[in-house]
Structure 1
Amino acid sequence: MSLKLTPIQRETLMALITLQRKKGEAIRGEDIATFIKRNPGTIRNQMQTMKALGLVDGVPGPKGGYRARIKAYEALGIDLLPEEAIIKVRVNNKLIEEVNVEEVSFTTVRHPNICKAEIQILGNIEIFKIGDKITVGPTPVNKLLVSGVIEGKDAVSNKILIDAEYIETLPKHPTKDFMTEFVVVEGNVTIKDVALKMKNEKLYAVSVLEEGELRIVSIKEVFAAILDGRSDDKVGSISNKAININADDPLYRSITKIIEDPNAIAALVNKNDRKVGIVNKIVIVDRLTDHIIELLGNSVD
C-alpha cells in the first residue's frame, strides 16, 4: 500500500526533490522554507516526521541538510530513473530550462468539445502563471507536443492544468519514405527548360550542378523566375545552397533542419555518403495527409 502523505508533506517533499535535482546536494530546511514560503520551524517539524517515515535522510556537517530517499519518490508517484530525457517546456515562447516533466495526462478525453491536460512538473511551479501560453514536448519516444493555456495550478502535487489547444505527434517515419528521385541538371540550363523537365517528370525540386557544387532549386523558385520574365536565365542563377539530411533520420528531425533555414523549401538526402533523393515540403505534406487518412480509415469529417 502506498504511503498517504498530508498536503504539507507532499509540498515539502516536492520542494526538497526540486531543489535537490537543481543543486545536486543536500538541502537545508531554511532553503525549503524559503522555496515554499513556509516557516522554517514548520519545515523542521515536517522533516523529523518524514525521517521517521523513511522518506528523507538527514545529512550532518556544514554542507548538510536533507536528501530525499527512493521511498519519497515512490510516495509522490515520481519515477526515479538512472537516466532521464529532458522534456522541453516553453512558456510564452520562452524555454524554461530549470524544469522537467514527470507526467502528462488528459482528463476530459470523452468530452466532445473540451480537452484538458494535467502536467506534473519537476521543478518550481511558481514560475508558471494563470493565462500563460505553454508548450510541452516533444516527448522522447512518441514525440508528443501539447500546447495550450494554463488554467490552474496545484502546488501540493506540483501539477498545472491547461486548456489543451493543440496536441501533435511529430512524424517518426524515416526521411527516405518521403524523398523523391535524385535528379541533377547543369547550372547552365535555362530556367524554362528546367520548368519543362519538372512538369514532364512531376518533380518538385532538382539538384543543380553549379561550379562543381551541388545546389538545389524548387518548383516554386523556378516558376517565380518565369513570372518575373527570367525564362532564358540559367537555372544556376536561382539555385540555393543545399541542405543535406540523412535518409535514415526520422522525418521530424529533417523537417526541423529545413525550417531552420527560412529560405529552404527542399533538401538533398544522403545515404552512405552519396546522394539518393530529394525531400520537398509539398511532398511531405501530401504524404503525411495520405498517411493520416489511412489511419482514420478514410473517415475524415
Structure 2
Amino acid sequence: MYKLSSAQREILEALVKLYDKHRRLVKSKEIAELVGKDEGTVRNIIAGLKSLGLVESKTGPSGGYMPTLKAYEVLRGFAATEVPVPVRKDGQLLNLVVTSVELIDVLNPEGIRAILRVQGDIEGLEPGDRIKIGPMPYTRLVIEGIVVYIDRYTKQVSVNVRRVTSIPRESVGSIASKQLITLKPNMSIREAAKILSEKMIRGAPVIDDEGRLIGIITLADIAKAVAEGRLDAKVEEYMSKEVVTVREDQDILDAIRLMQKYRIGRLVVLDAMGKLKGIVTRTDILRFISALED
C-alpha cells in the first residue's frame, strides 16, 4: 500500500470527490478552490500522484485529471481475500481470479459499484461484459454486474453491480432429494430413458445388486446412445463410473464448488458411512436460495 503525504492525500481525496460528483475530467483550478491551495501547488502534487499511477490526465482546453482505480484502493482500502475468487463471463469460467473486492457507492441511488483487483489473463475482459464473481470465501457473496472500466496496467476492474446474492449456511442433506431413483447396470438404455422421462429427472445413480454406488447416468449419456443407435445397450456401457459425491453434512457451498469444478449439475449424496442418501442438483440449490429471497 502506498504511503501518501498529508498534502498528497488531501489533493487525491479532492480529485476523487469532484470526479465522483461530476463524472468528467477535473480541472486543477477546481481542486485548488476545494482545498484552498494555490493552483501551481496543486499541479505539482498531482505530478507526483501521476508518477505513482494514481492520476490520469488529458491536455488541452477540454483536458483535466481523473483518478485511477488504484487511487480508490489507496484511499479506501480493499477487503483482501486469502483465497482467489473465480470469475465467470456469460457462464464461462475465465482464466482470471479476483484477489480483493471493494464495494463503493452503497448509498448511491444510481447503484453500487465494485472495484476488483484481479490476477490472470485480463485480455479476455472488456467493458460491457456481464460477469459473475464468487462465491467468495467467508462472506459467501456472489456479485453479478457489468464491467464499466478496466485498468490493464494495475489489473483493476470497475463493475456496476446488478445483483448481490449471499449463499446461506445450510447442509446438503437438508435440501437433497430424498426420494432417490436408482438404476441397475444391466438395464437397457431404453428402460433407463423411460424411467428418467416418467420421473422427469435428468440423471440417476447406478447401483449394483448389493446397493453399492457404481456409476451415474444422465440424459446426455442417453442422448449419446440414441445418436449411436444403441437403445438396447446396457446402462453400464454409457454410465459415468467416476461419480462425484458429497456428504450430507457438508455445506451447500461445498456442493456449489464441486459442481463448478467438475462442470456438472448434480451430486450424489452420501452419509458419514458412505451409504447412498440422495441426490442434489443445481436446481435444488437455486430453488432454495430463491425461496429465501421471496
TM-score range, shorter chain: 0.5 to 0.7
**What's the counterpart of residue 292 of structure 1?**
290
* Secondary structure at 1:254 match in 2: helix
Conserved 8 A contact 2:103-2:112 = no
Q: Does 1:243 align with 2:244?
A: yes
Conserved 8 A contact 2:180-2:279 = no
Find the partner of 1:117 among 113, 116, 119: 113
CA distance in structure 2 between the partners assigned to 1:179 and 1:249 by the alignment: 15
* Secondary structure at 1:248 match in 2: coil
CA distance in structure 2 between the partners assigned to 1:130 and 1:266 by the alignment: 32
**What's the counterpart of residue 95 of structure 1?**
96
CA distance in structure 2 between the partners assigned to 1:10 and 1:273 by the alignment: 62
How far has the Cα of 1:232 moved from its partner? 1.7
CA distance in structure 2 between the partners assigned to 1:175 and 1:186 by the alignment: 25
Conserved 8 A contact 1:147-1:166 = yes
* Secondary structure at 1:178 match in 2: coil
CA distance in structure 1 between the partners assigned to 2:206 and 2:224 by the alignment: 17
How far has the Cα of 1:240 moved from its partner? 0.3
CA distance in structure 1 between the partners assigned to 2:186 and 2:247 by the alignment: 28
Conserved 8 A contact 2:252-2:285 = no
How far has the Cα of 1:273 moved from its partner? 2.9
Conserved 8 A contact 2:245-2:267 = yes
Runs of at least 5 residues in structure 2 that lack an aligned partner in the other structure = 13-46, 53-73, 120-124
How far has the Cα of 1:233 moved from its partner? 1.3
Change (3 A) 1:169 1:11: farther
Matches within 5 A, 1:100-179: 100-101=100-101, 103-107=102-106, 110-111=109-110, 115-119=111-115, 131=127, 136-140=133-137, 141-151=139-149, 161-165=158-162, 167-170=164-167, 172-176=169-173, 177-179=175-177
**What's the counterpart of residue 254 of structure 1?**
255
Matches within 5 A, 1:186-205: 186-201=184-199, 203-205=201-203
* Secondary structure at 1:188 match in 2: coil
CA distance in structure 2 between the partners assigned to 1:231 and 1:120 by the alignment: 50
Name the aligned partner's letter for residue 279 of structure 2. V
The worse-fitting range, judged by mean Cα deviation, of 270-279 and 144-153 is 144-153
Number of residue pairs matched?
219
* Secondary structure at 1:216 match in 2: strand
Conserved 8 A contact 1:148-1:166 = no
Change (3 A) 1:227 1:116: same
* Secondary structure at 2:279 match in 1: strand
Conserved 8 A contact 2:8-2:49 = no
Conserved 8 A contact 2:205-2:213 = no
CA distance in structure 1 between the partners assigned to 2:228 and 2:238 by the alignment: 12
CA distance in structure 1 between the partners assigned to 2:88 and 2:50 by the alignment: 21
Name the aligned partner's letter for residue 275 of structure 2. K
Name the aligned partner's letter for residue 192 of structure 1. R
TM-score, normalized by length of structure 1? 0.52
**What's the counterpart of residue 266 of structure 1?**
266
Change (3 A) 1:117 1:232: same
How far has the Cα of 1:217 moved from its partner? 0.8
* Secondary structure at 1:186 match in 2: coil
Conserved 8 A contact 2:78-2:100 = no
How far has the Cα of 1:174 moved from its partner? 2.5
How far has the Cα of 1:208 moved from its partner? 1.7
Name the aligned partner's letter for residue 196 of structure 1. K
How far has the Cα of 1:166 moved from its partner? 5.1
Change (3 A) 1:104 1:266: same
Name the aligned partner's letter for residue 194 of structure 2. L
Name the aligned partner's letter for residue 238 of structure 1. Y
Conserved 8 A contact 1:216-1:266 = no
Change (3 A) 1:96 1:225: closer
CA distance in structure 1 between the partners assigned to 2:11 and 2:227 by the alignment: 65
- CA-based RMSD of the aligned residues comes to 4.8
TM-score, normalized by length of structure 2? 0.53
CA distance in structure 1 between the partners assigned to 2:126 and 2:228 by the alignment: 50
Conserved 8 A contact 1:181-1:276 = no
* Secondary structure at 1:194 match in 2: helix
* Secondary structure at 1:260 match in 2: helix
